Amino acid sequence: MWVNKQTILTIARKDMKATFSSKKVWVPMVIVAFLMCIVVPSCMAYFGIHFDLVGTSSEEIEKPLNSYIENFPNEDMRNTLIALPTLGYKFVYFFLTFMMIPFFLMVAIINSMVTSSNSFVGEKERSTLETLLFSPISIKDLFLGKVLASLIPSLGISFATFIGSFIIVNVITYPYFKVILYFNSTWIILMFWVIPILVLFNIILNVLISAKVKTFQEAQQFGGILVLPIVGIMISQASGMFFLSPLTLFLIGAVLLAGNLFLIKLVTKFNNRNTLFQSQIH
């Protein structure tokens, strides 16, 4: 057998226990997810429907927004938006369906970065990496255990917040929109294709980076670069440069999957105790 399942699970369990026994680690992760994926959409839904959020300036933006909707590339969405009675409803519907996507992507990235950048560097800072390298476990098993320990909490929090958001937002909006939000091909592809692959990509990249760098701060700085593409998506979504259609999302996932395969190849190249030991232990 080419991997030792027992060892991988032992390392993953130990790391997850460490993550959830330290309030400093898991509380910020949960709070960020709760704020960005539950509080923001819920408030947007509630206040957008019940209060005139767009306000007195509505006339100024009504024209450009209506022309924007008329030119919308997705026909179903265009028709749904046109059918909605007020500008406020249109804005809420548009925000919850499209603008929330980068929020979920962002939470997945941030959480996986926190757990994964802690992996090797955390072991090094506690001087336990040396002991692990002195034990009869393969570097591959060590990497896989670390990846699993980051993947499970990150995905768990993403899925839990998605379910929470799905329930709360739909309870607020269904009586008005008569449509179940987050329940379309875009969101299903996002949650069950793009996010798992993105989280995995981010984790493998971070585990690789943290095996190369020497301090936790360095690892996080490198990891932070990964947030940039998500900010790019957010801006392009808001400015109408391009929309995350199911096909675009599927392609993003496919590219990330290819990236994952490339990273895994790099990990196997890095599968050398001597190199890891000399770069990390002094």
Using alpha carbons only, give the angle 98, 204, 233 rounded to the nearest 5 degrees: 20
Residues forming the site for other proteins (CB under 8 A): 6-7, 10-11, 14, 17-18, 21-22, 126-128, 130-138, 273-274, 277-278
Q: CB nearer to other proteins: give 127 or 239.
A: 127
Q: What is the Cα–Cα distance from 230 to 194, expressed in whole angstroms?
A: 12
Shortest Cβ 157–other proteins spacing (Å): 21
Shortest Cβ 276–other proteins spacing (Å): 9
Q: CB nearer to other proteins: give 21 or 67.
A: 21
Shortest Cβ 281–other proteins spacing (Å): 8
Shortest Cβ 265–other proteins spacing (Å): 23
Q: What is the Cα–Cα distance from 15 to 30, expressed in whole angstroms?
A: 17
Q: CB nearer to other proteins: give 131 or 185.
A: 131
Q: Which tokens go with 263?
A: 């990273």
Shortest Cβ 10–other proteins spacing (Å): 4
Give the C-alpha distances (Å, rounded to integers) separating 124 from 21, 96, 150, 168, 279. Answer: 19, 42, 17, 42, 11
Q: CB nearer to other proteins: give 63 or 269.
A: 269
Q: CB nearer to other proteins: give 50 or 273.
A: 273
Torsion of CA 114, 117, 122, 125, to 10 degrees: -120
Q: CB nearer to other proteins: give 245 or 271.
A: 271
Q: What is the Cα–Cα distance from 204 to 191, expressed in whole angstroms?
A: 19
Shortest Cβ 274–other proteins spacing (Å): 5
Chain-centroid distance of CA 243 in Å reads 18
Shortest Cβ 129–other proteins spacing (Å): 9
| Residue 193 and residue 155 in contact, taking contact as beta carbons nearer than 8 Å | no
Q: CB nearer to other proteins: give 17 or 265.
A: 17
